[in-house]
Amino acid sequence: MLVCLSGALATWTGGRKPVVGWIAFATVVVSSLLVMAGVGSVLMFGPGEPVTCLEVPSLGFALRLHVDGLSAVFLALIATVAIPAALYSIEYMQHHLEHGKGRYYPDFLMFITAMYGLVSTTDMMWFFFIFWQMMTLAGYTLIRFDPMNPGRLRAAKKFMIMMQIACAVSMIGAQLLVNASGPSSIPPMFRYDFGNISGHLPMLLLKHPGTVATALALFFVGFGIKMGMWPFGQIWLPDAHPAAPSPVSAMLSGVMIKTGVYGLMRCFLWLVPAKACVDYPVHYWGVVVMLLGTITLFTGTVQALRQDLSKRLLAFSTIGQGGYILFGLGVCMTLIGSTDCAVSALGVAAFYGALFHTLNHGVFKSLLFLNAGSVLHATATQDLNKLGGLMRYMPVTAVTALIASFSIAGVPLFSGFASKWGLFTAAIQGNSACRLLPLCAMVAIITSAITLALFIKFFGVMFLSRTSAIVAERTHKHRRLEVGWKMRVPQVVLAFVCVVFGLLPVLPISLIHRAMEGSRHGFGELIASTPPLPSGGWAGLGSMNQEFIYVPVFLAFVLVAMFLVTRRVAKLGGSQRRSAKPWLCGYAREADMHRYRARGFYAELKRYVNWMGGAPRPQTEPVPVSDGK
Amino acid sequence: MKTLLSILGGVANVVIVLLLAPFFQGVLRKITALIQSRQGPPLLQPYFDLLKLLGKEDIESGESPLMQRFAVYLSLASVLTVACLVPMGFAAPMNAAGDVILLIYLLTLCGICTLLAGLAAGSTYSLLGISREMMTMIALEPLFAVAIVVGAVHTQSFRLDTVLNGSVYASTAFPWSGVIMCGVMLLSFQAFVQRVPFDISEAETEIMEGPLMEYSGPKLALFKYAQMAKLVIYSALFVTLFVPWGTGLMFPLGWLVFWAKVSGLVLLVTLVAATHARYRIDQAIRYFAALLAVALVALVLASYGY
């Protein structure tokens, strides 16, 4: 496994305090490429044996790394997002010179290393603890890094406390399982090994089902805190993500949250060995997870609707999208335990949807945070009320933000739609196994309309609308607002991934399938042996009996054809184009006072959802008085 | 052969929608005028309006004219794409491209284009209008989705031709859910086709056509065209979902029956529009929320097989 090597490499340079960001970038690229190579070899040749890197028998622990299919998927995601984020950091962090970069890059690298470690370790106690702490401490310093942000200290503390609780809770869960399984012949340093715990479970499920349930509940809470599940997510996530510098927010929101998803998938689907599945009440756990997922996705998104700070809005929507992933996992668990072959196949389809949405969310949410970062970099504000008309000045950022917004809002032909489509079809068809499923799916569909409203506001108010006073002033001062190429390239790359995943969903789906074939443990066996949504004609998705089908390439072809037709029709009359100022009853000069601000959007609707909570602004920041004066 | 047929069917649907949409608009205007004791324009007036607008000067007011153009072209293009997915007297032409979930989301795409166009125009009135339009969409999209999902739950299928064929009544017991959804959709249908009393986002008399306010010439023509086409497509969808009787007849007969039903629905829309006053947006939201609650009850009934 090359992963150990790359992880070590990243840590090593991380400790060395690189003078410039380029070294950090090069480190990230090298380590990511090595990780990618490792992932590639897992995909091609199947997983290798667990590697024991570091053994300290006297203290009773050993570092055992093992990359199987599931880890490979998450490693690939981390590596894909880490490279653009590192490149983006170089220019973005320049105006933080006064605080010295030495404090930023080592932490950044450490953070990435910790995540690589966390998804590939098999040890559920000590190394889980060490990697988790590495990630938390690095995250803590990164969140409190930005000196211009007044709320950062409080946010960082909250992050720290919640992560420690999560860590403690998960470790208690692991300890419970190990204690209950009694003495064993395995050397103590492998006592907390994943395989070992898993091996004892069938016996435990029979003898102490209560203990196992408690342990699973503890894991659920621990990883739920990490991935921002309701009600824990609302405590730390919306403060921590906006406080960090933007590339870090992208990593936090796009990738770090996903380690929670990884933990949940591991515990609920992979931990229990296949032969003990009969005693494992996966159906009921699934219903619980699904209901919590539904609550999370609805509350997170509705609260996001009330925000008018760009990065805070994105943070709340991260909770909402995390809810979709949780919902997908819940649907999968509800259906997968069924003895009916068709129903469990639907469960597998939901699993693919959830994992695909995890990848998609990682890509488009980090892109959105980078977009918000570019705007923050260019205009020095993240207050949506003060922004407007940036599309003319920042075309690249605007177009990439549009692609990301379309993806997250589930517009057909973009990546978010493909994964949500998988979730919805599986949930609605699984009606026979659980009567609640269509209702929850409907809540998810309503929420996706709210997500659309959210991102129409996010994109429209920043990039369209009318040029605001602050933007006009900045353009006057700086001549050009668009960020430099080091910040543009990462955005373009991520946007490209969104489009490719949207048009050819077969690509990631078959990759995931490939990975799952190398991850046969517990329900992984079932997932690996059930073919995913096989491709319909023209590289689309569909079920075996064609009861549900989605062929984006065909659709794109029709849409483009229609687009050309309408364009031709518009030119038939040979009319002349002329540009003019919008009409404002003759008060065009006072335009800035008459701008329709972000606060005004959906006012009537927001009034009805006030009780859902989610204060529009953190308390630490003073509410500005009316800026018209 | 199958591909060729589906392409031909798609083209046929698009052409029919494009040809018939202004005619229905003409009927609508004429009848409204008659109800209000006016003479009213000739039936073919909308065709002339569109042709004339195509030649008029095209004034672009926004910060990003490219975005304006893109949004306008895409709005009609997405409506026409939906036209390829809906069965209009024959089977749905593009059955192989997607299912009903795609249909739900494609219908929102038409709305999104209007929103983007309104935002790009940069007028305060446009922004006011799109804020209202979006709030309406949040309530309406789920209503339509519930209707479709009720059908999908009954038939255990997502295929366009299976669901868009009166599937809401396809339960084994008495189809309570289908009947309830039919009522709900009838009560909210004016909002789907953006007519009085739910044309809140355009509201000529208060915010001067909202999102469309800054548009002129060919762009306005395309928007108007898209709106007229929407009336036809939504009526067709309603008919295929809730009034499926008589579609299985022989070629000219079934086809005629289908379009007769669509005309009937358009007539109903006109009557309601001509005799009602516009709601305020907060009233409308409360109204839709109540309908949505009823719809969710219908969905629960459907999942229990009623």
pLDDT in tens, A521-550: 767 667 766 666 554 444 567 665 566 777
Number of domains in chain A: 1
Tokens representing A460 are 């429209």
- pTM for this predicted structure: 0.88
- Beta-carbon contacts of B251 under 8 Å, excluding residues fewer than 6 positions away, are none
When mean pLDDT is compared across A206-215, A400-409, A587-596, B276-285, the lowest value belongs to A587-596
User: What average pLDDT does this structure show over B218-225?
Assistant: 86
Question: Does residue A172 register a pLDDT over 80?
Answer: yes
CB A559 to CB B77 under 8 A?
yes
Query: Stretch A327-334: mean pLDDT, rounded?
Result: 87
CA–chain centroid gap for A303, Å, is 18
- Is the separation of the CB atoms in A523 and A278 below 8 Å? no
State how far the Cα of B288 lies from the Cα of B188, in Å rounded to an integer. Answer: 8
Q: Which position has the token pair 């048009």?
A: A503
pLDDT tier, A220 (very low <50, low <70, confident <90, very high otherwise)? confident
Q: Which range has the worst mean pLDDT, A542-551, B5-14, B231-240, B261-270?
A: A542-551
- Which residues on A lie below 8 Å from B221 (Cβ)? 570
Quick one: pLDDT at residue A65? Answer: 67
Q: Minimal CA–CA distance to A226: which of A182, A260, A271?
A: A260
Classify residue A486: in a domain, yes or no: yes
The tokens 């506001």 sit on which residue? A457
- Of A546, A377, A357, give the one whose Cα is nearest residue A474: A377
- Chain B residue numbers touching A535 (CB-CB < 8 A): none
Helices and strands per DSSP (H, E), number in chain B:
11, 1
- Is residue A618 one of the residues assigned to a domain? no
A chain contacts of residue B152, beta-carbon cutoff 8 Å? 428-429
Name the least confident of A188-197, A401-410, A447-456, B170-179: A188-197
| Contact residues on chain B for A434, CB-CB shorter than 8 A | none
| Number of domains chain B contains | 1
User: Which of A57, A151, A63 lies closest to A619 in space, CA to CA?
Assistant: A151
Are A522 and A379 a contacting pair, CB within 8 Å? no
Q: How confident is the model at residue A18 (pLDDT cuts 50, 70, 90)?
A: very low
What angle in degrees, to the nearest 10, is found between the helix axes of A310-336 and A209-227?
150
For the ranges A121-130, A603-612, B127-136, the maximum mean pLDDT occurs at B127-136
A376 to chain B, closest Cα gap in Å: 20
Entry field: residues in chain A: 629
CA distance A381 to A461: 13
| CB-closest option in B53, B98, B116 to A549 | B98
3-state helix, strand, coil in chain A (%, to 5): 75, 5, 25
Which two structure tokens, joined as six digits, stand for A271? 């931990």
pLDDT at B169: 75
Angle at A411 between CA A409 and CA A417, to 5 degrees: 85
pLDDT (0 to 100) of residue A98: 54
Enumerate the residues of chain A whose CB falls inside 8 A of the CB of residue B153.
428, 431, 438
Task: Select from A617, A437, A415 the least CA-distant residue to A505.
Answer: A415
Q: Could you tell me the two tokens for A274? A: 């296949």
By DSSP bridging, strand A61-65 and strand A541-542 are: unpaired
CA distance A594 to chain B (A): 7
Domain that holds residue B156: 2-303
d(CA A538, CA A520): 30
d(CA B9, CA B32): 33
Q: Give the DSSP H or E segment for A597.
A: none
What angle, rounded to 10 degrees, do the helices at A282-305 and A209-227 form?
A: 20
pLDDT tens sequence across A95-149: 665 555 556 777 777 788 788 878 777 766 666 777 788 788 888 877 777 666 6
Instruction: For residue A510, tell me if it sits in a domain.
Output: yes
Query: CA dihedral in degrees (A608, A614, A620, A623; nearest 10)?
Result: -20
- Would you mind telling me the total number of residues written for chain B in this entry? 306
User: Would you say residue B57 has pLDDT above 70?
Assistant: yes
pLDDT tier at A378 (50, 70, 90 boundaries)?
A: confident
Which of these ranges, A144-158, A299-313, A354-368, B269-283, has the smallest mean pLDDT?
Answer: A144-158
Q: Say what percent of chain B tops pLDDT 90.
A: 0
Between B10, B63, B73, which is nearest A391 by CB?
B63
Judge whether residue B275 has pLDDT over 50.
yes
Average pLDDT on A324-333 reads: 88
Say whether A445 and B141 touch across the interface (CB within 8 A): yes
Contacts 24+ apart (CB under 8 A), A8-12: A9/A34, A10/A109, A10/A110, A10/A112, A10/A113, A10/A116, A11/A109, A11/A110, A11/A113
Rounded to the nearest 10°, the torsion over CA A307, A309, A310, A311 is -100
A247 upstream amide cis, omega within 30 of 0: no
Residues A211, A254: Cα–Cα separation, whole Å? 34
Residue B57 class from Cβ within 10 Å (0-12 exposed, 13-18 middle, 19+ buried)?
exposed
Query: Would you state the structure tokens that stand for residue B29, as one six-digit string?
Result: 């205007």
Its sign, for the CA torsion B160, B165, B169, B172, is negative
What's the pLDDT at A628?
Answer: 38
Q: What is the DSSP string of A101-159?
A: GGGTHHHHHHHHHHHHHHHHB-BSSHHHHHHHHHHHHHHHHHHT--TT-TTHHHHHHHH
What interhelical angle do A341-379 and A485-503 show, nearest 10?
160
Cα–Cα distance for residue pair A605/A305, rounded to 1 Å? 9
What is the SS3 assignment for A64?
Answer: strand
Across the interface, whether the CB atoms of A604 and B222 are under 8 A apart is answered no
CB of A53 closer than 8 Å to CB of A137: no
**pLDDT at residue A47, rounded to an integer:** 61
Under DSSP, the state recorded for A191 is T
Res. A213: pLDDT tops 60: yes
- Residue in chain A nearest B159 by alpha carbon: A547
What is the C-alpha to C-alpha distance for residues B215 and A583, in angstroms, rounded to an integer? Answer: 11
Rounded to 5 degrees, φ, ψ at A233 are: -60, -40
Cα angle at A522 between A519 and A526, to 5 degrees?
75
Taking the CA of residue B52 and the nearest CA in chain A, the distance in Å comes to 8
- A48 three-state secondary structure: coil
pLDDT of residue A625: 42
Q: For the residues A222-237, what does the mean pLDDT come to?
A: 80
d(CA A566, CA A561): 9
| Six-digit token string for B74 | 């895409």
Q: Which residues of A touch B233 (CB under 8 A)?
A: none
> Could you list the residue range(s) of the whole structural domain that residue A519 is in?
349-570
- The answer to whether A7 touches A117, Cβ cutoff 8 Å, is yes
Distance CA B107, CA B78 (A): 8
* Residue among B80, B109, B304 minimizing CB distance to A411: B109
| Contact present, A386 and A472 (Cβ < 8 Å) | no
Q: Do B108 and A463 touch (CB under 8 A)?
A: no
Strand A51-56 relative to strand A61-65, pairing: antiparallel
Across A242-251, A620-629, B158-167, the highest mean pLDDT is recorded for: A242-251
